[in-house]
Structure 1
Amino acid sequence: MGGFRFVESFAGTICVLFASLAMSACTSTSSTAPSSSASVDALQLTSSSSTPLSSGGALQVVKDLPAPQNTQNGSEQPLSPNDVLEVNVFQVDNLNRTVQVDAGGQISLPLIGTMTAAGKSVRQLEKEIETAYGAKYLQSPEVSVFVKESVGQRITVDGEVTRGGIFPVTSNASLIDAIALAGGFNAVGDAKKVFVYRNIGSNTLVANYNVEEIRAGKSRNPRIYGGDKVVVFASKSKIAMNNLKDALGVASSAARIAVVPGL
């Protein structure tokens, strides 16, 4: 009989535990949640706030992120230092080169020497190379520039995703593409709390996007640019539910032990 009395007492304790966990579903901020979740909630409550950053700029919350200032109509990002370019001159194979943009933003090509590449679009650079070769060396040259490796075309995906990290992106990548690169949301990731950070001048802008609505076709799938940071925050209700499942597992194991004869 002692074993059954223990089970009754244990069952009462578990009931109290379940009630407590159920109430925490509305208020829980589990230790597994990002430490900045409170500040993110604050960001969600404001649509045009501005917070100073240690770097001297400001963090500004916006409803929708504008394209980076140095893109042409938001369609093409400029070349950056350390980008690797393949320069081909039509029918003049000995002038073809694979070059890397140096720290000063320049490249070096046969005959015409060094020229600035960083900050320019691929089309701008092609035209300038054609002009330089056409001025002294070639008649109506045709130049093609291909970006083999782009430092500027990388994004960071962090937070509650399957595998966070730094990923290369194409020139027309979207937010859905960025989430897919990181393997999607993990068990506690909140599709409604996806924040994208973008540097605009000396300031950093951040916008909250609801991926559930984007997937349902209710919201626009925003363009993602090189240099963006995508952070997925945790769902408090999912954290509380996981805690409840853990507690249920512990309770089930303990109950099995309690009914063993002789205990």
Structure 2
Amino acid sequence: MGVFHFANHIGTICVLLASITVSACTSTSSTTPSSPTSVDALQLTSTSAPLSGGGALQVVKDLPAPQNTLNGNEQPLSPNDVLEVNVFQVDNLNRIVQVDAGGQISLPLIGTVTAAGKTVRQLEQEIETAYGANYLQSPDVSVYVKESIGQRITVDGEVTRAGIFPVSANSSLIDAIALAGGFKPVADAGKVFVYRNIGQNTLVANYNVEQIRAGKSRNPRIYGGDKIVVFASKSKIALSNLKDALGVASSAARIAVIPGI
């Protein structure tokens, strides 16, 4: 009987050891970190890295509307935008002005007004307040955007015609790809990345254009200042690739010359 009980104890210990070994192997396998080298990993993981010019590049699932756009309904004015300012029934105050590099415009009587970063409605209200304070009673001011530098996007990577393109107030990602002539044969419609400046940071999100065209995903709105990069089908996507692509697209935007401007 003693031998029998001893054998039973040995069998129980072996089973426990085997169980512990399997559990340990499983735990080690499940906790091994995976490198975010695939598009799926970037879609599921919010990752960030510092940028040389300040701020950070942050990978997000979806891009928010730019700041100061009234939830995407207004486009902020930018340096070099050309504006027409009309004061109702006071023609001698009407002007066509260009927003300077510092984001300001100059108007009769009231002098310098900051325009960049504001919506058209905000600028109208500020000009009305300035004229109403000392010069006019209940002024009615209208501001029209004649030329907008801020309403341009960069499309780069595996598209037929990479470059800088003007966009309308309701342009979408599909519209932007069409402006660039569509995809090259080597392009991957599932590896389309859109960059957007939000405050000091640059956010980037991955969109699958094939699913958008099939009606399986929404067609995101594109705003002036966005940068769109299309990667090749065989390319591996990691955060370093996204930083490099942003640098190339940003350089192209800075040196581009737009015909007719």
**TM-score (norm: length of structure 1):** 0.70
Which range moves more in the overlay, 46-55 or 177-186? 46-55
Q: C-alpha distance in 2, partners of 1:143/1:71?
A: 20
Deviation, 1:44, is: 3.8
Residue 144 of structure 1 is matched in structure 2 by 142
> Deviating runs (4+, > 4 A) in structure 1?
none
Aligned residues: 199
- Matched residue, 1:45: 41
1:34 matched residue in structure 2: none
Q: Is the 8 A contact 1:160 1:234 kept in 2?
A: yes
Q: Does the alignment pair 1:96 with 2:94?
A: yes
CA distance in 1, matches of 2:194, 2:207: 8
Counterpart residue number, 1:82: 80
Rounded to whole Å, the distance in 2 between the matches of 1:128 and 1:56 is 31
Q: Could you say which structure has the greater relative contact order, defined with CA pairs below 8 angstroms and 6 or more residues apart?
A: 1
Q: Structure 1 residue 92: deviation in Å?
A: 2.1
- Could you tell me which of 195, 213, 228 is aligned with 2:193? 195
Secondary structure of the corresponding residue to residue 224 of structure 2: coil
- Whole-Å Cα distance in 2 between the matches of residues 132 and 76 of structure 1? 22
- Partners of 1:233 and 1:154 in 2: how far apart? 21
Kindly tell me: are residues 234 and 57 of structure 1, through their superposed partners in 2, closer, same or farther at Cα, counting changes over 3 Å?
A: same
Could you tell me how far apart the structure 1 residues matched to 2:82 and 2:124 are? 15
SS at match of 1:45: helix
How far is the alpha carbon of 1:100 from its aligned partner? 0.7
Distance in structure 1 (CA, Å) of the matches to 2:129 and 2:198: 32
Paired with 1:57 and 1:142, the residues of 2 have a C-alpha distance of 40
| Local SS of the residue matching 1:162 | coil
The root-mean-square deviation of aligned C-alpha atoms, in Å, is 2.0
Paired AA for residue 170 in structure 2: N
Of stretches 127-136 and 189-198 in structure 1, the one that deviates more from structure 2 is: 127-136
- Measure the CA separation in 2 of the matches of 1:40 and 1:176: 27
1:105 aligns with 2:103: yes
**Unpaired segments ≥5 residues, structure 1:** 1-38, 238-263
Aligned amino acid, residue 101 of structure 1: V
Letter in 2 for 1:75: N
2:179 to 178, 181, 184: 181
Deviation for aligned residue 1:40: 9.0
Identity over the aligned pairs, expressed in percent? 84
Q: CA deviation at 1:140?
A: 2.2
Partner of 1:167: 165
**Shift of the alpha carbon at 1:186?**
1.6
- For the residues of structure 1 that align with 2:158 and 2:172, how far apart are their CA atoms? 18
Distance 1:40 1:107 in 2: 46
From the superposition, tell whether residues 43 and 52 of structure 1 become closer, same or farther in structure 2 (CA, over 3 Å). farther
Aligned partner of 2:59 in structure 1 is 61
* CA deviation profile, 1:187-222 (whole Å, cap 9, x unmatched): 222211111111222222111101111111111111
Any conservation in 1 of the 2:152–2:225 contact (CA below 8 Å)?
yes
Once the two structures are TM-superposed, the CA of residue 43 in structure 1 deviates from its matched residue by 5.0
- 1:14 maps to none
Name structure 2 gaps, 5 residues minimum: 1-34, 236-261
Is the 2:189–2:210 Cα contact (8 Å) retained in structure 1?
yes
Which amino acid in the other structure matches residue 41 of structure 2? Answer: L
